[in-house]
A and B are shown apart, each in its own frame.
Chain A
Amino acid sequence: GENVEQHPSTLSVQEGDSAVIKCTYSDSASNYFPWYKQELGKRPQLIIDIRSNVGEKKDQRIAVTLNKTAKHFSLHITETQPEDSAVYFCAASNWNNDMRFGAGTRLTVKP
């Protein structure tokens, strides 16, 4: 089955700096890669996703890149704000597997 590794486990940045979270996956058949943001005590919420036929996708200050050859994908947050502080989870799935999540990254944006 799929195995997803996520790094770093914690990340602290100054407000206005960029943050990058990286994930690797093991199943070359995986073709869908969502990212979720979870604020303390709340449900994970989808913030951006990317499909295997796309190398990069942007949505305002958030971008995701995918390297299928290397089997890794990354979340990039620019101009970070205190409200970006949360736990971020990456995930990977394919047509036959249930979705597997990374262990999460706790992002802290210091004002």
Chain B
Amino acid sequence: DSGVTQTPKHLITATGQRVTLRCSPRSGDLSVYWYQQSLDQGLQFLIQYYNGEERAKGNILERFSAQQFPDLHSELNLSSLELGDSALYFCASSVSPGGVDQPQHFGDGTRLSIL
């Protein structure tokens, strides 16, 4: 158990819909990262938050947005869903934004299936 909690584990929805994925970081971690992993693909970095503030953006679509709340949990919102959005979405957390001795610890992911 990494200490990072993601809900829900599975999500099935239709094209055009909107979903929210939730992540609770490990106790003491201030930084949260979101990744998308399509079938047999690598980890595509989407966005990073540190202590409530957006810190870095990767290849995140405009249809996607995220935020980190005062209690440090984070939500990833995906709207106007398309078939290609079907993927495993991982959240990871670390103590600080980056640098030496800062491994990211991953949650078990949310598997999103678009029908």
Interface-located stretch among B21-29, B40-48, B63-71, B77-85? B40-48
For the complex formed, measure the closest distance between the CB of B93 and the CB atoms of chain A, giving whole angstroms: 12
Contacts A42-B108, A43-B106 known; A102 to B98 CB distance under 8 Å?
Answer: no
How many A residues, CB 8 Å from partner? Answer: 25
Classify the interface of chain B: helix, strand, loop or mixed.
loop
Residues in A neighbouring B55, C-beta threshold 8 A: 98
Contact A94 B90 (CB under 8 A): no
- Tell me, rounded to whole Å, the shortest Cβ–Cβ distance linking A88 to chain B: 11
The contact of A98 among B45, B90, B100, B107, by CB within 8 Å, is: B45
In the bound assembly, the distance between CA atoms of A103 and B38 in angstroms comes to 12
Q: Hey, what's the 0/1 contact readout for A12-56 against B, CB within 8 Å counting as 1?
A: 000000000000000000011010100000111110010110000
Contact surface of B with A, Cβ cutoff 8 Å: 2, 33, 42-43, 45, 48, 55-56, 58, 90, 97-109
Known: A36-B106, A101-B45. 9 other contacts (CB 8 A): A31-B99, A32-B100, A32-B102, A42-B108, A43-B109, A44-B106, A89-B42, A95-B100, A96-B98
